[in-house]
Amino acid sequence: MFRKILIANRGEPVVRIARAAHSLGIQCVGVASEADRGASWLQVLDEVVPLSGKAPRDSYLRMQQIVQAGVQSGAAAVHPAWGFLAENPRFAALCEAHGLTFIGPSPAVMQRMALKWPAKASMRAAGLPCIPGSEGLLRDVEEGVRVADEVGYPVIVKADAGGGGRGMRRVDRPEHFREAYQAASAESQAAFGNGALYLERYLTGGRHIEFQVLADAFGHAVHLFERDCSVQRHHQKLIEEGPSPVVTAEEREHMGRLVAEAARSIGYHGAGTVEFLRRADTGELCFMEMNTRLQVEHCVSEEITGVDIVAEQIRIAAHEPLTLQQDQLGIDGHAIELRLNAEDPHANFQPTPGRLKEFHIPTDAGPGRVRVDTHLQAGDTVSPYYDSLLAKIIAHGRDRQEAIETLSRTLRAARIEGVSTTAELHAQVLASAEFQNGDYDTSAIPGFTLPTA
């Protein structure tokens, strides 16, 4: 096991990784930008290396500076958490080149899965169903027009190197295809340095279902069941739950087995997530992409399985065999997570940085249990330079209704002053008939409407 690791991130991810590392007897080194100097979350670290700059591009995205911090501090490994450099194969390779173990998959596997079409081809070869579309990258707009006619409208063109909704355009009519293709390619080139696109049939009213996997270097892989992440805004997740209200036990067993085998077949090591879109018309789960890192919402899977995914991830990176067996894993109750952000939903979710005059989220609102993952406390400042996440609130109940009730009570009892938050949005979603019944999809936020002027 590692003696010391460096956590190449900031805020809540650092607190989460440090908690798991310390449980394994590992010391934690952190990095802090100029904007984060003196932040309260740095207290969870055993050592802090200052970074120059404030904005991410000048601090947390400077690979050489972070690797140097790891080498000079005597760390044996680097944990990227999520965001920033977590899925950057160049960063993983740079760590390895300087004798630092990257806590994640190999650079080669990461590169393969980062490009959406090679990832889709790999998963199809492993037996996972995929969304109908092009057989590879589109050579040009004319091929795109032809494939769209064959697949049938609506279609969506996607950046091969894309993410977060960038380099993506929905096309409903043939006469709009060329314009959408050019716009998506240009946006992808500007954002990722790669303008390559592929095409899929656009499936309306689907559910976003993802399976958590763990795989070691000895050919063992397991899945930790699924999460439903269909409550979204512009492809950004707002609420996640597990298990999904629409996935049957038979589907869960079948797809979980395929997902674990797929991870094993590509030589994947560590924690990862395989994402699907559940078709509204057929109910089929179709592969979308694989995230080669720890997900923000991994807490949901931890709460229903009792597995510390971060600790397992670190053990795998330390070349220890996976001790979990699939037949030993089961689902205990139901868990729902919401991402409480310093944003104003009534102003197009504009971030609302500022000082937290009061910040209290109770963990005893019951009847189920509550977990709050945060890096903040009263008196802290929510920085304008970084992600607006205040906390992840995860409620576990004996069943879905108890989890909803527990999360709703926790929101009502929370006291946060100094910044606007998304608490009202989450309360409306949880109380909505659509969410209560489990009858929602990615097309709209359940129960939430903006006020009329």
- List the catalytic residues: 293
Joined together, the tokens standing for residue 209 give 């279902």
User: What count of residues does the chain have?
Assistant: 453
Q: What is the CA radius of gyration of the chain?
A: 21
In contact, 81 and 126? CB cutoff 8 Å: no
Q: What is the DSSP string of 152-201?
A: -SSEEEEEEEEETTEEEEEE-SGGGHHHHHHHHHHHHHHHHS---EEEEE
**SS3 of residue 364 by DSSP:** coil
**SS3 of the chain: helix, strand, coil, percent, to 5:** 35, 25, 40
DSSP string of 394-440, one letter each residue: EEEESSHHHHHHHHHHHHHH-EEESS--SHHHHHHHHHSHHHHHT--
Cβ atoms of residues 368 and 406 within 8 Å: yes
Residue 2 has which token pair? 């590692």
Query: Phi and psi dihedrals of 328, rounded to 5?
Result: -90, -10
Contact 242, 252 (CB under 8 A): no
Distance between CA 380 and CA 403 in Å, rounded?
Answer: 29
Dist. CA 1–CA 399, nearest whole Å: 37
Cβ proximity of 270 and 77 under 8 Å: no
Residue 410 CB-density burial (10 A; 0-12 exposed, 13-18 middle, 19+ buried): buried
